[in-house]
Amino acid sequence: MVKIKICGLKRLEDIEIVNRYNPDYVGFVFANTKRYVSHELARQLKNNLNSNIMSVGVFVDAPKEEILELFNEGIIEIAQLHGTESEDYIIDLKENTNNELKIINAIEMSNDTDLLEYDSSNADYLLLDSGKGSGKTFDWRLIRKDLKKEFFLAGGLNNLNIRQAVDEFNPYAVDLSSSLEVNGFKNEDKIKEIMEIINE
């Protein structure tokens, strides 16, 4: 069964909604975007989150110390990296957490992307996306069927295309954000619908 991540939670109301539908992961964005949350707000959100839902911190070239602090305080369990973070950066995060911090390495997909070079990455998962929270799909034909790492599929997934994406590419997880919003806020009806499609 494909797992689901709902990204960009920033209100206690968002937490109340996801607690009712139990996705596998939620994302807190610590990068400078409209979905940014402070460490203190993320702590409040995490404290109210169902314990069976994993929390993912989303970063773009953040200081390693920031990620380690959030992990050590129990605010995040996974780091999702969207910048130019190196393999050494990933290894350092792993070594400083006794390999307990899981890493998702986000790949901006284009015709120039060679996914083979990530087969040996120290990241636990890849995330295939069209860009940093662009909300647009990329050319799914770029997804290699022989990927060695499990991957999250992101970018423009919605109630109309997610079933095809899951059936055709069998991702480890799907990652949604803007398609679950109305006027910039997470919407319970949209979350309920997508969870029903995934779980049918």
Is 146 catalytic? The answer is no
Pick the catalytic residue: 14, 61, 119, 129? 129
**Three-class HEC string of the chain:** CCEEEEECCCCHHHHHHHHHHCCCEEEEECCCCCCECCHHHHHHHHHCCCCCCEEEEEECCCCHHHHHHHHHCCCCCEEEECCCCCHHHHHHHHHCCCCCCEEEEEEECCCCCCHHHHCCCCCCEEEEECCCCCCCCCCHHHCCCCCCCCEEECCCCCCCCHHHHHHHHCCCEEEECHHHEECCEECHHHHHHHHHHHHC
Pick the catalytic residue: 7, 14, 124, 175? 7
Is 167 catalytic? The answer is no
The residues carrying an active-site annotation are 7, 129
